[in-house]
Structure 1
Amino acid sequence: MLEVIVTTVEDAIIAEAGGADRLELCISMEEGGITPSLGKIKNVISAVSIPVHVMLRPHSNSYHYTVEDFSVMLDDLRVIQLFGARGVVLGGLTKENFIDNILLQDLLPHCEGLNVTFHRAFDEVEDQIEALHQLKKYPQIKQVLTSGGPGTALDNLIQIEALLYETSHERMHILAASGIDPTNVAQLLEIGVTNIHVGSGVRFGKSFHQPINIEMIRKIKQLMESYLT
């Protein structure tokens, strides 16, 4: 499964045409991504036929959220559901950078009908294996988006292999992210990654200020398909 980050309607149309299986919609990628506007959610979902997963992150200050933040997230979640998103990308940590189980216990029951990804807050925990065991308790969470820790996915191949092993017989999947482009995706496919998340690596100049390069998406998709045959 190839997921592409999109920030505009134009991005979404190009990514779908290039062969993306799914889109992650967010804005302010320089800050790690936050929830897009109501209008953007509605128009991106209307413009494509492939699933759109929307980032549920009220601010970029941290991954720790207050009661007030939770209220904002709940209202944003209702909008995401209203406009027909297929999934939501969320997560939260305590001030000590452990999984915020209280947030998940309060928020996940409101995600009915949505495919849930735990986002890259996961890369800020000290013990990812323990954090993964905690996330397995929540049947709503289907994917964990991760680069295997600080740095890019290519910097953390051994850790990603360990995470793949921990989820090899689970309903949860590892969605490898960060620094992935057509020149290096094969290294991830070779260790057993089957779910790839790309962002600036498929854009001209590798910048979120530039458009998506459709040929890069096509190349990654071809490489992924070659590993399955």
Structure 2
Amino acid sequence: MSKRAVLEVIALDVEDAVAAQAGGADRLELITDMAADGLTPPVATFVAIRAAVDIPLRVMLRLEDGFAARETDRLVAVARELRAAGAEEFVLGFLDAAGGVDLGAVERVVDELAGSGCRWTFHRAIDHAADRDALRKQLDGVPGLDTYLTAGSSAGVDDGLPTLLAEAARRGEPGYEQRILVGGGLRLDHVPGLLAGGIDAFHIGGAARPGGWGERVSAAAVEEWRGALDGG
């Protein structure tokens, strides 16, 4: 089995997805509305991307800006629609008003996915939590959770590096079995130290678009990241 680091790229549409795969992405995170930090894409977008590429797709389950789950019934319905369309991997994460994990909302959505054995990422809501360690331990054992997308800090990777490396060193402890997927202000110069610290998964969005979010994913930019992760 390959030991190479995972490179996940944000894709908004088919063109993004095709370019990311061509550049060497291992997986895509599918979203819409980056102005709201990424919301659930239309089912039709998922279907079109699934037909265009053959790498894994993780679909965002988030209906509005922020980390509250105000419409849990609707979230469950959207998850059901995506599952019916063939989605098998997801991204989600909800906090309550006190900054703790909204375990009830998470479990309701995951219940819709767990029977199908779907895997999912808890996204950067962890970086806005009142207590990261408590959140991890509350989520320990929730079916399908295999990844935390995190910068280590709400301010981004520059500020979060010590936390990322400390959490990586705890891999295997209760609440810390999941893979750390680093994203949020991630730059190429962060990569060597993160790799050396045992982190093996990286998530890019704007870094895959040298022209900014108004431009498509650049296969060449993704290829540069692929080379850096592979030690090239």
SS in 2 for 1:166: coil
Residues 1:216 and 2:221 are matched in the alignment: yes
Show structure 1 runs of 5+ residues with no match. none
The number of equivalent residue pairs is 223
Instruction: Indicate the residue corresponding to 1:46 in structure 2.
Output: 51
**Aligned AA (1:33):** G
Determine the structure 1 residue equivalent to 2:157.
153
User: What is the CA deviation profile of residues 24-47 of structure 1, one whole-angstrom value per residue up to 9, with x for unaligned ones?
Assistant: 000111211000112111111111
How has the CA–CA distance of structure 1 residues 133 and 172 changed in structure 2, closer, same or farther, with 3 Å as cutoff? same
User: Are the counterparts in 2 of residues 23 and 50 from structure 1 also a CA contact under 8 Å?
Assistant: yes
Give the C-alpha shift of residue 58 in structure 1: 1.0
Give 2:86's match in structure 1, choosing from 79, 84, 87. Answer: 84
The separation in 2 between residues aligned to 1:132 and 1:41, in whole angstroms, is 29
Higher RCO structure (Cα 8 Å, ≥6 apart): 2
Per the alignment, residue 180 of structure 2 pairs with 174
Map 1:111-150 to 2 at 5 A: 111=113, 112-150=116-154
**1:42-85 deviation per Cα after TM superposition (whole angstroms, max 9, x unaligned):** 1111111001110000111x21123xx11111111112212222
Q: In the aligned structure 2, how far is the partner of 1:213 from the partner of 1:105?
A: 37
Superposed CA RMSD in Å reads 1.6
Pick one of 65, 78, 90 that aligns with 2:69.
Answer: 65
Q: Please give the secondary structure, in 2, of the residue aligned with 1:145.
A: strand
Amino acid corresponding to residue 134 of structure 2 in structure 1: E
* Contact 1:51–1:85 under 8 Å retained in 2: no
Q: TM-score, normalised by structure 2?
A: 0.90
Separation in structure 2 between the aligned mates of residue 202 and residue 183 of structure 1, nearest angstrom: 15
72, 83, 104: which one aligns with 1:102: 104
| Unaligned residue ranges in structure 2 (runs of 5+) | 1-5
Contact 2:79 2:109 in 1 (8 A): no
